[in-house]
Structure formats: C-alpha cells, structure tokens
Amino acid sequence: MDRPGREWLQKRLGELQALGGYRVGRTVESLARELGIEPSEVVKLNSNENFFVPGELVTALLKEVAAETDPRLYPPREEELRLKAALGEYVGLPPECVAIGSGSDQLIELITNLFVERGEEVLSVAPTFPMYRFFAVLKGARYVEARLREDFSLDTEGLSALTTSRTRLCFLCSPNNPTGNQFGVEEVRSVVEGFPGLVVVDEAYVEFARHSVVSLVEKFENLVVLRTFSKAFGLAGLRLGYMVSNPGLARTLSERAQAPYTVDRIALRMGLRMLENLEVVKEGVERLKRERGRLTRELNAIGQVTAFDSQANFVLFQTPKGSEEVHQALLKRGILVRDFGRVLHLDGCLRATVGLPAMDDRLLAALREICGG
C-alpha cells in the first residue's frame, strides 16, 4: 500500500478508535478470579438479564432444538416464516409487518445504515441506550440529544425544536434504559405525527411495562417498533430480535437490505419454542414485577438511598456516596451492578438488574453495610 493509502487507513482507524464502544463491564469469571471465589458465588446484576424464565425449561428446549437441528445446513426460509407468523400473532399484527434480526442491536445498525447518510442527523434523548449514538457516529452522522426532564419524562417540545431538515431518524427507548420509565402512548404518537423521518421505538423491556405502542404501526408508516427475545424470553445468549413496521418496510429489510442467514437455526427455533411456552414466560414476568416492587421498596428503606420507579427489569438508584465508591465496594463483595455516575441532575447513580430474591437480598445487605441503614 502506498503512503497516501497508509495515511488514510491510519486516519480511519484513529476515527474508529475514538468511537469507544459499548462497555460490557466486568465479567463473572474475572471478578471470581480476583476475589478467589467460585463464579457461582458472584451475583450478576449488571446486564439486565432475566433470571425468572426457568433455566431448566430453556435448557430442555435448547437440547431438543439442538437434537433436531443439522448445523451443516443453512436455515431454510420456512423456519423464519414460521417464527414471523407466531410473532405476528403475538403482537396482534399480520406477519408481513415483522422482520427478524440477530438481536435488536443488529436491527438498529441496519436501520441506521439504510436511512442515514454521512453528515445527516440522528435524534434521540439523554440519557438512553448508547448504541443509538454508536451506530449513528459510525455511519458518520451527527447525533443530537434532547435531555429528558428532571422527572425522566419525554420533552416532546425539545425533540421538535432539535429536528432539522437533515434529521432522518429518531430513537426512543421505552421503557428507557437506564431510567426505567416508560413514555406515554400519546407522547410517542405526537412525536411520530410531527417527525419528518423515521421514528424507532425500542421496546426491549415492554413485557415488564404497562403498555405498548405497537398498534400505532397500522396508523403511521414512519413508525418502527423494536423488540427482543433477550429480556422477557430469557434468550440473551442467542441474539434474536425483531421489528414491527408497515409491510413495505419490513419486507424491504427482510428481503433486500439484510445479508442472508443472519439468524441461525438454533435461535429461530428457540424463538418459536419460547412463544409456544408463552404462559411460562408470562408467569416469569409477573414474578419479576413483584420482585421489582420489593427491591424498589427495600432500596428506598436504606438511609439516603433513592430508588426510582421502573417499568423494566432493572432499577436505577441513587446513593449518598459516590457511585464509584459504592460500585467498588459491591465488587469486593462479589456483586456486579452498573455504575452510571451522574444521570441528568442526579449524582451517585447505579443500575441493578432485578434478580431472584436471594440475589437481591445479597445486594440489599451489602448496600446497608456500605450506605448505612
């Protein structure tokens, strides 16, 4: 490669390095090695996973699927169509409105690549899921944020004021990560009605919440709703997501804009099996919601700790001490949570997955020691 070519490559690599990336945080294995304990002794509450879907059910279904799957063969289209039909029934819309991807992250990337050109704008709120920014900046777009109000509610006027002739996408995470609150249907409707581009509502946590905006897809061609199997269905390790939109957009993404065989056969079949066991999934969701209420109450009973109401499978809470100090103290006790530091006007914020009762009890006992009360 000649020198100009090498200079271009080095410049581009530097730009990509500056993007940073998504912080997955400490792993169970690395923390267990550091503390000299077994991995099973670590309490993992940092990634919003769902422990309330029975592990034995998921394992049994996975064994069945693995036994009937020949990994030498590419996934036949019929398997994707069967899953789309089941998902259409699940969300109450025709299967033609559904497109499937390798996790909702892959669909976020795909939508950004398709509808945003370099130098155009992507709009979202702050704070929110960082992958919207990541994929926008990776594409060379300008990422614009409208701060949430102090009560975490959506500032629709602020969003409208930041919209320009170059704004192509608006991402709304509802329930929002990391705040845990859900935006109202009418608020979302007003954004969709007034937005000149495509509005993407990320409903990764919607099964734990009060409502969905998925029915608005029938009324607005510029609305896309993202869903995932990683949360309520407990399949975070298989990377399976889907989007719901008008049939033309869903068909285009499925048939014209996506690489073939993006989702493997195991994930496709497991998605279908979990939908066939929907009552078990719903029961797990209800148990999680009850435990979420208990965790929130118990956190608020600790001196000067404030836990915020959540419609997701995690709880954001504020401590009287610095979040880094609390985070490190929890790590020393074998407990993984996510340190967020400052969230809007609030210092000392951390986020914890709603774990099984014994897991949450470990967290609560540790916080009483660290924060007092």
| 294-328 CB burial, b ≥16 within 10 A, e <16 | ebbebbeebeebebbebbbbbbbbbbbbebeebbe
Same domain, yes or no: 295 and 245: no
Confidence of residue 342 (pLDDT cuts 50, 70, 90): very high
Q: Which residues contact 151 (CB under 8 A, 6 or more apart)?
A: none
pTM, to two decimals: 0.95
Please name the amino acid found at residue 29: E
Q: What does DSSP assign to residue 342?
A: E
pLDDT of res. 11: 80
Q: How far apart are CA 250 and CA 96, in angstroms?
A: 7
Are residue 48 and residue 60 in the same domain, yes or no?
Answer: no
191 and 210, same domain (yes or no): yes
Q: Using one digit for the tens of pLDDT, what is the confidence trace for 22-65?
A: 666 789 999 999 999 999 999 999 999 999 999 999 999 999 99
**pLDDT tops 60 at residue 1:** no
Q: Residue 339: which CATH number? A: 3.90.1150.10
Query: Which of 233, 258, 277 is at the close of a domain?
Result: 277
Q: Which two tokens stand for residue 264?
A: 């493997």
- Residue where a domain terminates, one of 243, 277, 311: 277
Q: Are residues 313 and 221 in the same domain?
A: no
| CA 177 vs CA 174, 224, 279: distances in Å | 8, 18, 26
96 and 20 share a domain? no
By the 8 A CB rule, do 77 and 260 touch?
no
Residues 45 and 104 in one domain: no
Structural domains in the chain (count): 2
Tens-digit pLDDT profile for residues 14-33: 777 777 666 667 899 999 99
137 lies in the same domain as 273: yes
CATH number of the domain encompassing residue 200? 3.40.640.10
Residue 4: what pLDDT?
Answer: 61
Residue 125, Cα to own-chain centre: how many angstroms? 15
Q: pLDDT averaged over the chain?
A: 95
Q: Which domain holds residue 248?
A: 55-277
Clarify whether residues 168 and 152 are in a common domain: yes
Using the 3D structure, point to which of 236, 259, 277 is the last residue of a domain.
277
Q: Are residues 273 and 284 in the same domain?
A: no
